[in-house]
Amino acid sequence: EVFARIEAVDSRVGAFLSTDREGALATAKSIDDRRARGEKLGLLAGLPIAVKDVLCTKGQKTTCASKMLANFVPPYDSTVVAKLRAADAVIVGKTNMDEFAMGGSTENSALGKTANPWDLSRVPGGSSGGAAACLAASMVPLSIGTDTGGSIRQPAALCGVTGLKPTYGRVSRYGLVAFASSLDQVGPMAWTAADNALLLEAIAGHDPLDSTSTDIPVPAYSQSVDKPLAGLKLGLVREHFGEGLSSEIDSAIREAMRVYESLGAKVEEVSLLHAKYGIAVYYIIAPCEASSNLARYDGVHYGYRTDEKTMLAELAEEREKLEKSGDRAAIAALDSPLVRLYRKTRAEGFGSEVKRRIMLGTYALSAGYYDAYYLKALKVRRLIRGDYDAAFAKVDFIVGPTTPNPAFKLAEKTGDPLSMYLEDLYTVTANLAGIGGMSVPCGLTSSGLPIGLQIQCRPFDEERLLQAAAMYQ
Ligand code: GLN
């Protein structure tokens, strides 16, 4: 049924980069056989799931939606994928995304377009756009996304589904192709908070292969999610209700607060004073880390390599010309073959947004600018975390809109990176502070586009976060 549905709708949605019908059916069959033999099955037994194409899957392409990795087949499973298999989930395919998870609309994919199932002329959000769209179009009930600055929560909001970015360290990053290592987290996406609870329970936990994963026991999220919380205190972020917020989203969030109040919650205002610097800080730190992480794509170790014959012929031709002109300085400055291989491989293999980030990051990390940009950004990052600590001393959860606007038109923002970056205004701060956050559907605009309510929690408070989300749903 899953593959029939994908066949029927995915030519219009474009959520998947690859599917594995044979492998999925074989897994499903073996689960059925084990069930028939009365064997104990895993938490996700038989559930079809889609995985963002940034997580390594053994023997199956993992492209990061980049020309650079278009033919990369990992020799191992990421820990999250291994845990899905161990829980008897059925992985049906890999989903589209912004190249290397850099973007907020999935339009930076080098390998295909994804449309928002609610309105095919609009973006699904990003970078986990495919993972959100395959849920919204009812192709699968569960998917895995990753969130560095909002990439689970923002597409969940734009596609009317539920997604959770866990606390940094809750889920292993082993085998997740790195974008910004101090911000990246893998997380669940599904229709409901209860389904998120089940999936998070399966993928969370300490992993000796990821030194930043934390050794804190994983609660049985799926057991507690349906128990409502009493005496809940919610803090509405004052700074998230100003200029730039769509008025329809503003009223939907306020309406959601009335629902919570009717369930016995108390709602008060809290302040995140430094939240306004979130975008500036994020767009220094994330590109700095990306420029370092992406240095590995050198055309030598793995991934795309420029055509060597053409490259060497061009180099020889340039040298010949220079020798004729007798320009010694230019001859001395000519690339070595290895440097030219690196240059051309990267020029051809990376898309423009990835190059923009590498250049921004390299610039901000260079001698003379390091203190002014990178170090300054780290200091403000600490202040942002401090704001959260102060707010969490007063309230249980911090709430507000997930995004300033509903899904925008395809191509509307591709020519204006800054306006694309501003869509991340409310989500990047959770990654900078390392805390958990969720986006939960909270109604539709007058033109029928989904709106997301963001709920953020104290570090490692996902169990109650899921309960708080479930009681609203
Ligand atoms: N939209 C943000 C960016 O472009 C967040 C991406 C993400 O979380 N992977 O970097």
What confidence tens digit (pLDDT) does each residue in 103-137 have? 999 999 999 999 999 999 999 999 999 999 999 99
In this structure, is residue 199 part of a structural domain?
Answer: yes
Cβ 353 under 6 angstroms from ligand 1: no
In this structure, is residue 241 part of a structural domain?
Answer: yes
pLDDT of residue 219: 98
Cβ 431 under 6 angstroms from ligand 1: no
- For β-strands 450-457 and 397-401, DSSP reports them as antiparallel
Count of CB atoms situated within 10 Å of the CB of 342: 19
Tell whether the model's pLDDT for residue 243 goes beyond 90.
no
Terminal Cα distance for the chain, rounded: 27
Ligand 1 midpoint to CA 273 (Å):
22
Q: By the 8 A CB rule, do 442 and 469 touch? A: no
In this structure, is residue 376 part of a structural domain?
Answer: no
Residues 38 and 167 in one domain: yes
Residues 184 and 239 in one domain: yes
Residues 146 and 63 in one domain: yes
DSSP state of 389: H
Residues 140 and 239 in one domain: yes
Residues 339 and 262 in one domain: no
Pick from 95, 102, 291 the residue to mutate for probing ligand 1's pocket: most ligand atoms within 8 Å of its CB: 102
What confidence tens digit (pLDDT) does each residue in 24-70 have? 999 999 999 999 999 999 999 999 999 999 999 999 999 999 999 99
Residues 231 and 326 in one domain: no
Share of the chain above pLDDT 90, in %: 99
Cβ 102 under 6 angstroms from ligand 1: yes
pLDDT of residue 433: 98
Residues 100 and 60 in one domain: yes
Helices 247-262 and 462-472: angle between axes, nearest 10 degrees? 100
Cβ 27 under 6 angstroms from ligand 1: no
Does 52 qualify as catalytic in the annotation?
Answer: yes
Tell whether the model's pLDDT for residue 195 goes beyond 90.
yes
The whole-angstrom separation of Cα 292 and Cα 73 is: 23
Of 52, 67, 94, 165, the active-site residue reads 52
Both tokens assigned to 469: 């989300």
Q: Which ligand 1 atom minimizes the distance to the CA of 357? A: 10
pLDDT band at 304 (very low <50, low <70, confident <90, very high): very high
pLDDT band at 393 (very low <50, low <70, confident <90, very high): very high
Within 16-113, where are the H helices? 21-36, 79-86
DSSP state of 204: B
Does 78 qualify as catalytic in the annotation?
Answer: no
Cβ 150 under 6 angstroms from ligand 1: yes
Of 109, 127, 222, 439, the active-site residue reads 127
Does 251 qualify as catalytic in the annotation?
Answer: no
* Closest among 34, 173, 47, 159 to 96, alpha carbons compared: 159
Q: Kindly report the CATH number assigned to the domain that includes residue 214.
A: 3.90.1300.10
The complex's ipTM? 0.98
Cβ-based burial of 76 (10 A; exposed 0-12, middle 13-18, buried ≥19): middle
In this structure, is residue 303 part of a structural domain?
Answer: yes
Q: Alpha carbon of 456 to those of 44, 56, 398, 436, 459: distances in Å?
A: 26, 28, 5, 6, 9
Residues 322 and 267 in one domain: no
Tell whether the model's pLDDT for residue 242 goes beyond 90.
no
Residues 17 and 110 in one domain: yes
- Give, using CA atoms, the residue closest to atom 5 of ligand 1: 149
In this structure, is residue 147 part of a structural domain?
Answer: yes
Q: Which of 349, 382, 409 is the last residue of a domain?
A: 349
Share of the chain above pLDDT 70, in %: 100
Q: How many domains does the chain have?
A: 2
- For the residues 325-341, what does the mean pLDDT come to? 95
Q: Which of 317, 349, 381 is the last residue of a domain?
A: 349
In this structure, is residue 362 part of a structural domain?
Answer: no
Mean predicted lDDT score pLDDT of the chain: 97
The whole-angstrom separation of Cα 449 and Cα 121 is: 12
* Closest among 54, 50, 48 to 14, alpha carbons compared: 50
Residues 247 and 328 in one domain: no
> Which residues form the domain of 182?
2-277+391-472
The whole-angstrom separation of Cα 394 and Cα 71 is: 50
Kindly report whether the global pTM for this prediction surpasses the value 0.90.
yes
- For the residues 202-220, what does the mean pLDDT come to? 98
Cβ 287 under 6 angstroms from ligand 1: no
Tell whether the model's pLDDT for residue 341 goes beyond 90.
yes
Cβ 164 under 6 angstroms from ligand 1: no
DSSP letter string, 96-125: --SGGG--SSSTT-SS----BTTBTTB---
Q: Alpha carbon of 438 to those of 58, 89, 127, 207: distances in Å?
A: 29, 23, 16, 23
Residues 325 and 407 in one domain: no
Both tokens assigned to 102: 């850099």
In this structure, is residue 103 part of a structural domain?
Answer: yes
In this structure, is residue 78 part of a structural domain?
Answer: yes
The whole-angstrom separation of Cα 129 and Cα 111 is: 13
| 236: β partners | 269, 399
Residues 11 and 78 in one domain: yes
Residues with Cβ < 8 Å from 98, sequence gap 6 or more?
A: 65, 104, 105, 106, 107, 108, 109, 126, 127, 129, 151, 353
Q: Which ligand 1 atom minimizes the distance to the CA of 282? A: 10
Q: Which ligand 1 atom minimizes the distance to the CA of 148? A: 8
| Cis before 138 (ω within 30) | no
